[in-house]
Structure 1
Amino acid sequence: MLHSALLYTALLFGANAAFAGPVDWQAAKDAGLVKLVPAETPAPVSDIAFTDPEGGTHALADYEGKVVLLNFWATWCAPCREEMPSLDALQAEMGGEDFTVVPIATGRNAPDRIDKFYAETGLKNLPVLLDPRQQLARAMGVVGLPVTVLIDRNGNEVARLLGEADWTGEPAKAVIRQLLD
């Protein structure tokens, strides 16, 4: 119990602008984000385009200057169904000029299935973005779902998490605050 309290305290102080520094990845893992893997060397993300249901074209470069939590998901993915509400809540709480959640439905996800998925899981704060031929997912080395990639303000991948996570928990929010500092 004391160990957990110390870790949360370290995460909170590490996220405070007065104590700004590099992200404490180990503290985040110790506090609950056990599957979070920091990049050995931050590297630029792919420039492959993705779309929205109206046919608009987007790229990760569109988000340069923001910290991005990029999530690859699919309507048929049970762990995605569990995770997406926490991503929606994270966007509602922290999304804005400096941070955004970018969920991309990769593979075959019919528009009516996506609408049903959003309705059933109560998603209200996330855009619908698509990678129907999995071109972006393949370019980014996504081999299973869900996969979440943390991208810094310069468009570099700084960490990745395979599988679902609670993005509303203090460890996740602390990492994001540290990236924002």
Structure 2
Amino acid sequence: MLRTLVLYTALLIGANPAFAGKIDWQAAHDGGLAKLSQSDPRPVPETTFTDPDGGTHSLRDYRGKVVLLNFWATWCAPCREEMPSLDALQAELGGKDFQVVAIAAGHNPAPAIRKFLDQAKVENLPVLLDPRQGLAREMGVMGMPVTILIDRDGNEIARLIGGADWSSDTAKTLIRQATAP
């Protein structure tokens, strides 16, 4: 009887649109993302950043998608450790609803970036640059790595300072919850 009650309660909650898209922040903390801090939704700046070909981009380009924005640098040891997991997360979940946006902030010469990405075996992330750290400064990034979760409306909803395993089951569950309709 108790099992049946639990099963039907779980089905009711899972099928109820009022519960869709809710993020279980505590489960994320308990599952290995202990440094993840939920924040009140606040709009991200529209400061531009570039790509190696001189193209200009802004976070506005990603509206309608959930974005995991990561600021990194070639000299950053924790960045080197976490970059393969960001690449794996993009490979598995990236698409029309979700995008990992990894931006090299500060002075990162092109050969150093290429070497860094080759050594980390990054294949699924575009090279994006914030050489003068305009976007990083505007977003309050004081050190690296910093990863910011942005909702479909362009609002920061969480931030993690330091490295994390973004290819973990916990991280994938967080992204699936954030992208749920």
- Give the C-alpha shift of residue 168 in structure 1: 0.6
Write the distance in 1 (CA, Å) between the matches of 2:161 and 2:169. 19
TM-score relative to the length of structure 2: 0.89
- Give the C-alpha shift of residue 20 in structure 1: 2.3
Is 2:68 the counterpart of 1:69? yes
Is 2:46 the counterpart of 1:47? yes
Write the distance in 2 (CA, Å) between the matches of 1:17 and 1:75. 45
- Give the C-alpha shift of residue 26 in structure 1: 1.0
List structure 1 runs of 4+ shifted beyond 2 angstroms: 16-21
Output one character per residue of 1:101-148: Cα deviation in whole Å (capped at 9) or x when no partner. Answer: 000000000001000111111010000000000000000000010000
- Backbone CA RMSD of aligned residues: 1.4
Amino acid at match of 1:107: G
Flag the 1:20–1:76 CA change in 2: closer, same or farther, 3 A. same
What SS is found at the alignment partner of 1:148? strand
Counterpart residue number, 1:57: 56
1:32-181 aligned at under 5 Å gives the runs 32-39=32-39, 41-181=40-180
Flag the 1:53–1:176 CA change in 2: closer, same or farther, 3 A. same
- Give the C-alpha shift of residue 17 in structure 1: 7.2
Bigger Cα Rg: 2
Flag the 1:54–1:139 CA change in 2: closer, same or farther, 3 A. same
Contact 2:36–2:160 (8 Å) recurs in 1: yes
Counterpart residue number, 1:26: 26
Output one character per residue of 1:61-84: Cα deviation in whole Å (capped at 9) or x when no partner. Answer: 000000000000000000000000
Unaligned runs of 5+ in 1: 1-12
Unaligned runs of 5+ in 2: 1-10
Contact 2:21–2:179 (8 Å) recurs in 1: no
- Give the C-alpha shift of residue 31 in structure 1: 1.1
Counterpart residue number, 2:4: none
Write the distance in 2 (CA, Å) between the matches of 1:21 and 1:55. 36
Amino acid at match of 1:140: M
Write the distance in 2 (CA, Å) between the matches of 1:17 and 1:102. 31
User: Percent of aligned positions with the same letter in both sequences?
Assistant: 66
What SS is found at the alignment partner of 2:165? coil
Flag the 1:17–1:89 CA change in 2: closer, same or farther, 3 A. farther
Write the distance in 1 (CA, Å) between the matches of 2:147 and 2:21. 23
Write the distance in 2 (CA, Å) between the matches of 1:84 and 1:53. 19
